[in-house]
Structure formats: structure tokens, C-alpha cells
Amino acid sequence: MAVIHGKEIDFIKNDAQAAAVTLEEGRKSQRVNAGLGLHLRLRVSSSGTVGKSWEHQYRHKCKTAWLSLGTFNPKNKAKHVSCADAREKLSDAMSEQHKGIDPAESKRLDKAKKAKEKADALAMLAEEKVQEESDRNTVEVVARRWHQSTLPERNPKDARVIIRRLEQYIFPSIGSIPIADLSKAMLMELLTGIYHSKKKDGTEKNETGRRVAMNMRSALEYAVDIGLIEHPPIGRLDKALPTPIRKKLPSIKTASELGKLLRDVYEYEARGTYLVCMALKLLPLVVFRNTEFRSAEWSHIDFKRMEWVIPAENRKQKTALKADDENYHIVPLPRQAIELLKELQVFTGGCKYLFDKPTNKDGYLSENAITQALKRMGYQGIHWGHGWRATFSTLLNEMSVNSDAIEKQLAHNIQGGAVRQAYLQSNFLEQRRAIVQQWADYLDALRDGAVVIPIKRQA
């Protein structure tokens, strides 16, 4: 029996009754007769709603079975099966029964056949697409395949820069040209155009042009390796795209100027953001490279040993060296740096990065944050973030501090074999502890406007 609006009925006759019928009190599943072996099954789902579906009870080879004929759900028109549709499906199923065919097995085989046909069609389309790309082998297709092949050995960030570079400068112009039809004249005309194009400040994009050219040479050599072309259609880059003369980046080199800069850094607190101000105060004490500094994690800081460890993967070195965990760099920290780090820890200690910035794509302080702050302070063309390394090296060398210790603190390569390198790492660590503390005290004195005594050479 079925219950509709509190009244019992013998069986369901139409959609209105199918929609109104409810489960008997206390039941979670129930089949309601709809006549001629057709039933409407009501079942409570895991979410608590009552689902309805049509089923047909039949016998095949002396066994009773149930055949699903679809869902009754007027709200979902794509899958809804009305009472009339269910009876039509029932008629088809009964016709198969009269022929000795199991309608459930027939439905399963039909579903499997349609799935196979769909899969075959998709596979054919995919094969045609691959074949089409293979036949075309355009500059873009080959360059992307080359780029993909280099991913295992390339830093992910560098990989993203390279593909964006090709997408910006190469693909729009010659990406659709078959690789075999690319001529040297065509490519070199494009590369020289990039090389001599102007930046916003009016200078030429020489370095960008050379990097794009080197990426294209590698992609074309890949095309030679896989048999698409015999020779890379690219000219001599040293002739067509000469290496530009690099200007030395600005940095302060005198004690008096340095003292003023340090005072300006501390006064910048009134208008700068907290993270940028902390970075400006901390960077002169540790003199890191830009990316090593900005991407530093709290796990790299050892407060007890007063050390900052730069992991191999964060250092400026070849990919193979980045993969070797032993190529880390230990930076001893002065007392002043520890104090600043403890202050910063209150602000970002619960985050991964020291200079945590979730709104930036890398998750930490942007590349230009420090440079822009110095610019606002009036130091454009006078000093920049990376300039602290030159300031540190210049002033300490002028004070006759051990040059090897200075170079080691800056993580520069020092000439010599493995034995000498091991000696430098261990022997200079304690010397560097003393040097960085003296350097920090020296900076404090300059900032305070005191007459300072130069740092003496360590024995």
C-alpha cells in the first residue's frame, strides 16, 4: 500500500501520485506498486532526502530480478523519467523477456557498448590531434616539448620564467610556423628586434634578447636531436647579439654616507610597512642575496647557535648543486640580527616565511619591495638592496679584514680544491662570527653618528 496525503492507495497511476507518495512511518526504503510489474522505489539517502526510482520486477531462468528504469525527479529534467516513460521502458523490457533475453543483462551490454564507442571516439580524436601536431611540428609545439623535457633538471621558478618568455616574445610571431620552414634570417630578425626593443626607462632589452635567443638555440638543438631538422637555423649570438657592458649597480662606499642611510632606514618606519621596514633593518646585518633573503624560512634560523642556514636549493648555484643537500651555507648572526628576528617572529613566527606575504605569488616579500623603499627614501641611483653586499665587502677590505673570510660570508666561490674549501668552511666560521658582530656594532655606531674605529684584521 502507498500513502498519499495520509490516504492509502493500491498503486501509482500517474506523475502526480508518484510525486506525492511518501514513505510509511518508520521505514527507510519501500517499493510502491505501479502495476504490471512496475514499482516506484523510495529510499532515504545519506543526506536524509528521499530518492525515487522506477524498477521492474521480472523472472528470468526461474530467478526473480529487478531492473532499474530510471530516476523519478521532476527537478532534474536531464535524468527525470516520468510515469509514462517508465511504462514505455517497461514495455520494451517485457518484449525482450518474451524473446528470452534478460533485460538487465541487455541493458548492461548496451551501456558497455556505448561507453566503448565513446572511449574509441575520444581516443581517435586524441590520436588525430597528436598526429596533427606531429605533422605540423610548429615552432611552438617543438619549443614546448623541449621545455617539458628540461623540467626534471630545472628549478621550477626558472622553468616558469622561460616558458613565459617564449610565450611573450616567440610564439605570437613565429609559433605557428613549421619548425622545418623556420629560416635563420627569419629568426635572427625577430631576435635582434627583441634585443633592440625599448624598456619603459628607454634602455634596450639586450639581456632579455640574449636570454630568449639562448632558449631558442636550446629548443632548436632539441629539434635536431629528435630528427625534425638537420641544423639549428640560428646565427652566432656573440656577433648578432653582443653581450652588453654591464654597469656596476650603485652602493654606498663611505662611512659618512652609510651612517646617513642607516638613520634614514630607521626613520622610514613612519611611512613604510612593517615587513619592509624589518627587511631594511635586517639586510645590512646579514648581506644576503635578494632571493635568499626574501625566501628565508623560520626553519632556517637557529637562535641557539645564532646561525642562519641557507639550504642548497635556495642558493645561487647550478641546478645539480642545488639538488645536493650538503651545499648549504652557514651565516653566523650578530646579536642585533637575533634581536630583530625575535621581534619579527612575533609577527610572522606562525608562518613558513620570515617575510610572509600570502598575497604575492611566491608567498613572501616581492623582489622590488626593498628597492622601491630605498627609491622612496631618495636613494635611487645611489644604493639598492643588493648593494649592501658591495658595501660590506668594500669597507671591510679597506679595513684589511681577512678577504677569504669576507668572501666566505658572502657565499662567494673561493679558488682552491676540496680540502681548501672544507678548511675555509670550518676555520673561518668562528672568525666570521667575530667579524659580523664587529660589523653590526660598527653599523650601530655609524647610525648613532659616533666617531668609529675601523674593524681590525682577525688573527
In the structure, what pLDDT confidence band is assigned to residue 246 with cuts at 50, 70 and 90?
A: low
Q: What is the pLDDT of residue 204?
A: 84
DSSP string, 303-341: TTTTEEEE-GGGSSS-HHHHT-TT--EEEE--HHHHHHH
387 vs 68, more confident: 68
Name the residue with cell 516520468: 82
Q: Is the pLDDT of residue 438 over 50?
A: yes
Q: What is the pLDDT of residue 421?
A: 52
Q: How far is CA 33 from CA 3, 21, 56, 95, 230, in A?
A: 12, 11, 10, 20, 76
441 vs 203, more confident: 441
Q: Is the pLDDT of residue 346 over 80?
A: yes
DSSP state of 80: B
What's the chain's average pLDDT?
Answer: 83
Residue 59 — φ and ψ, nearest 5°? Answer: -120, 135
Beta strand residue intervals within 366-443, DSSP E: none
Percent of the chain with pLDDT over 70: 85
Q: What's the rounded mean pLDDT across residues 289-306?
A: 88
In the structure, what pLDDT confidence band is assigned to residue 339 with cuts at 50, 70 and 90?
A: very high
320-359 burial: b if 16+ Cβ within 10 Å, else e: eebeeeebebbbbbbebbbebbeebeeebeebebbbbbee
Least confident among 71-80, 90-99, 374-383, 426-435: 426-435
Q: What is the pLDDT of residue 420?
A: 46
Q: What is the pLDDT of residue 430?
A: 82
- List domains and CATH numbers for the chain: 2-101 (3.30.160.390), 139-240 (1.10.150.130), 255-447 (1.10.443.10)
Q: Quick check: 347 and 257 in contact, CB under 8 A? A: no
Pairwise CA distance, residues 316 & 312, whole Å: 8
In the structure, what pLDDT confidence band is assigned to residue 54 with cuts at 50, 70 and 90?
A: very high
Q: What's the rounded mean pLDDT across residues 275-299?
A: 88
- State the Cα torsion 227-233-237-240 to the nearest 10°: 180
Cell numbers given for 17 = 501520485
Q: What is the pLDDT of residues 191-213, one digit of tens each?
A: 989 988 888 878 888 888 889 99
Least confident among 131-145, 159-173, 196-210, 444-458: 444-458
Q: What is the pLDDT of residue 294?
A: 87
Least confident among 128-132, 172-176, 193-197, 280-284: 128-132
Q: How far is CA 454 from CA 382, 400, 403, 404, 440, in A?
A: 23, 9, 15, 18, 12
Model's pTM, two decimal places?
Answer: 0.51
Q: Is the pLDDT of residue 459 over 50?
A: no
Q: Is the pLDDT of residue 335 over 70?
A: yes
Q: What is the pLDDT of residue 340?
A: 94
Q: What's the rounded mean pLDDT across residues 168-197?
A: 91
Q: Quick check: 50 and 27 in contact, CB under 8 A? A: no
Q: Quick check: 328 and 309 in contact, CB under 8 A? A: yes
DSSP string, 222-291: HHHHTTS-SS-----HHHHSPPPPPPPPP---SHHHHHHHHHHHHHGGGTS-HHHHHHHHHHHHH---HH
* 3-class secondary structure, 55: strand
Pairwise CA distance, residues 367 & 363, whole Å: 12
Most confident of 1-10, 38-47, 376-385: 38-47
Q: What is the pLDDT of residue 131?
A: 60
Pairwise CA distance, residues 279 & 277, whole Å: 5
In the chain, what's the furthest Cα-to-Cα distance?
A: 110
Q: What's the rounded mean pLDDT across residues 153-164?
A: 87
Q: What is the pLDDT of residues 402-421, one digit of tens each?
A: 667 766 777 666 555 454 45
Q: What is the pLDDT of residues 22-51, one digit of tens each?
A: 888 888 898 998 888 899 999 998 888 899
Q: What is the pLDDT of residue 325?
A: 54
In the structure, what pLDDT confidence band is assigned to residue 98 with cuts at 50, 70 and 90?
A: confident
The DSSP element (H or E) to which 220 belongs, if any, is helix 206-225
In the structure, what pLDDT confidence band is assigned to residue 433 with cuts at 50, 70 and 90?
A: confident
Q: Is the pLDDT of residue 291 over 70?
A: yes
